Amino acid sequence: MIKSVFKAIVWAMFLIGVVSAADQKFQCFKHYFPVQHIAATPKIEIHYFYSFECAGCQKLAPALSKYFYESVQYPVYRHPLATSHIGTQLIKAYYALKQNEQGEQFVLALYELGGKKRITDHELLKHMKNIGHDHFEELWNSVDNSFLRKQIYDDLAMAKNYRLIALPMIYISGPKGLFSIYPNKDLALEDVPACIEAVIEFQKTQHAKSLQGQ
């Protein structure tokens, strides 16, 4: 009996240590990770969201970055710059071609536009269509907020000082569907599975304890 209790204590200390280490690396997990929503054998997908970063100070561009992120169903971790659904549509339109050569030309076209002092809707749409992004017009026309447009113009005007960066987003399946985690910017993707497994194992242990207490 004493031996099994000792084993349980050691095992619990190990799990707490693993989760604590995970918390240190992924600080958002401690406060925002909804363990109760994880499936028993979760499907984990890692995707990239793209944004602009200043080549000098590495700060995110104020407006272009502001609209790049929207949580799928569970706002597990809200990036400080997260905002409206319209903004999300815009940023998806910006980077719809991000994974191929045409996508690189698309970003370069944005940079070229950024060198101008004023960018008209017509000019922007013309450049979008020239690189094959036909459905951007519909998205752009859905944005009737002139202040939002001005913010995007301002960022494009500074775009030559910014570089495109990839930010990881983790999607995990649960009983109620997918939810997402926006981890720290310098997340090492190879550490994600071990961290999630540690949290799930900890959840199972807590569940087993609650059953014993009934």
Domain boundary assignment for the chain: 1-26+188-214, 27-186
Which of 204, 170, 200 lies closest to 187, judged by CA? 170
**Among 6-10, 92-96, 168-172, 188-192, which stretch is predicted with the lowest mean pLDDT?**
92-96
3-class secondary structure, 67 = coil
Q: pLDDT tens across 41-92, in order?
A: 555 555 555 455 555 555 554 434 433 333 222 222 223 223 333 334 344 4
Task: Report the distance separating Cα 167 and Cα 45, nearest Å.
Answer: 14
Residue 92, token pair as written in the block: 């998806």
Which distant-in-sequence residues (6+ apart) come within 8 Å of 189 by Cβ? Answer: 46, 168
Q: What are the helix (H) ranges across the chain?
A: 2-25, 27-32, 85-94, 101-114, 121-130, 136-141, 146-157, 192-212
3-class secondary structure, 163 = strand
- Given this model, what pLDDT does residue 1 score? 54
pTM recorded for the entire structure: 0.29
Phi-psi region of 132 (alpha: psi -120 to 50; beta: other; left: phi over 0): left
In the DSSP assignment, the letter for residue 75 is B
User: Rounded to a whole number, what is the largest CA-CA distance in the chain?
Assistant: 78
Q: pLDDT tens across 103-145, in order?
A: 444 444 444 443 333 344 455 555 545 544 444 454 445 544 5
